[in-house]
């Protein structure tokens, strides 16, 4: 009985929290629950996204109107002939295997937004307060703001791969926010998800607590390929909530390239280098 009461109380708390703007704290009226305006660059995904049902609107009208969709990718690293990635932010993620044609390849991140404190508030609410209902809103904004060349609804060649967490960290948090975003993005676009193709095989310190050089060392050797067949010949889209130096994304990318992925790019809700 007590468990049922606790669940009901939590549902009320969740409702009240979800009815407030995560940036400014004002109540979000139903009429003000606006979808993120589409980016200037058109997307081939626009039509299906317009009809998608998104339950949670995390920002009020004023804060939503302040958002700026990111219309261009940022280069976070260059792939080298030995399979490593030289990061723009500094440092190198060692490769797991040589990658043919690597000197031509760059690792690009496609963020949904020009990231500001409003978007960080939404990301942090999803990540640290477990506001999982925010994942579809972020995923819709992410997909709607991306040009077709960044994300194409072609299940034959594309795979969404969430950036993994190590088992102990996921047990503590209770979920992987990148996986929630990937699931929502897959539901919106029809692109298949490979949840277990890349795994984080050892615990690492939180990247946010480390300096730039320490972040590279922290994730070096932490990612491994579990199912190479799922990635071979595929256009791999790594999905994460927030990208900063790009070290974690690069560690996943070298794993995907070692599995002979045809192409790797990163999509994220926010990018703050």
In a domain, residue 3? The reply is no
In a domain, residue 112? The reply is yes
Spatial contact of 195 and 224, defined as CB atoms under 8 Å apart = no
In a domain, residue 248? The reply is yes
In a domain, residue 7? The reply is no
pTM of the model: 0.85
**Tokens describing residue 97:** 């295997």
Range of the domain at 263: 13-17+19-271
Q: So what's the pLDDT on residue 91? A: 93
In a domain, residue 141? The reply is yes
In a domain, residue 93? The reply is yes
CA distances (Å), origin 91, targets 146, 164, 186: 28, 21, 32
CA-CA distance, 134 to 23, in Å (whole number)?
Answer: 13
Count: domains in the chain = 1
Burial of 14 from C-beta contacts in 10 A (0-12 / 13-18 / 19+): middle
Give me the tens of pLDDT residue by residue for the chain, a chain 273 residues long.
455 555 555 445 555 555 788 889 888 876 555 555 444 344 444 444 544 555 567 888 888 888 888 878 899 999 888 888 999 999 999 988 766 555 567 899 999 888 899 999 999 999 998 888 899 989 988 887 665 556 655 667 889 999 999 988 888 889 999 999 999 998 888 888 999 999 999 888 888 777 878 898 889 889 999 999 999 999 899 999 999 999 999 999 999 998 999 889 999 999 998
Question: Could you please report the per-residue DSSP string of 214-268?
Answer: HHHHHHTT-EEES-GGGTTT-EEEEEEEEESSSHHHHHHHHHHHHTT-SEEEEEE
In a domain, residue 6? The reply is no
Instruction: List the beta bridge partners of residue 159.
Output: 236
**Tokens describing residue 133:** 């209902």
In a domain, residue 176? The reply is yes
């Amino acid at each position: 009985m007590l468990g049922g009461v606790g669940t009901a109380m939590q549902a009320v708390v969740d409702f009240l929290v979800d009815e407030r703007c995560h940036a400014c704290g004002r109540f979000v009226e139903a009429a003000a629950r606006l979808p993120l305006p589409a980016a200037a660059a058109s997307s081939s995904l626009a039509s299906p996204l317009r009809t998608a049902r998104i339950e949670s609107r995390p920002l009020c009208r004023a804060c939503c109107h302040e958002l700026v969709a990111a219309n261009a990718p940022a280069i976070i690293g260059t792939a080298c002939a030995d399979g490593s990635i030289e990061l723009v932010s500094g440092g190198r993620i060692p490769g797991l295997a040589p990658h043919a044609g690597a000197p031509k390849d760059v690792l690009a991140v496609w963020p949904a937004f020009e990231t500001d404190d409003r978007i960080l508030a939404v990301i942090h609410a999803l990540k640290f307060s477990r506001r999982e209902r925010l994942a579809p809103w972020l995923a819709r904004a992410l997909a709607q703001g991306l040009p077709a060349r960044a994300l194409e609804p072609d299940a034959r060649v594309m795979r969404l791969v969430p950036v993994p967490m190590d088992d102990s960290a996921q047990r503590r948090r209770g979920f992987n926010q990148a996986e929630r975003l990937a699931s929502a993005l897959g539901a919106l676009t029809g692109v298949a998800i490979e949840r277990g193709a890349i795994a984080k095989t050892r615990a690492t310190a939180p990247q946010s607590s480390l300096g730039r050089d320490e972040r590279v060392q922290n994730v070096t050797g932490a990612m491994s390929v579990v199912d190479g067949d799922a990635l071979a010949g595929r256009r791999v889209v790594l999905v994460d909530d927030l990208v900063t130096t790009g070290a974690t994304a690069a560690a996943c990318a070298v794993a995907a390239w070692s599995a002979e992925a045809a192409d790797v790019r990163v999509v994220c809700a926010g990018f703050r280098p």
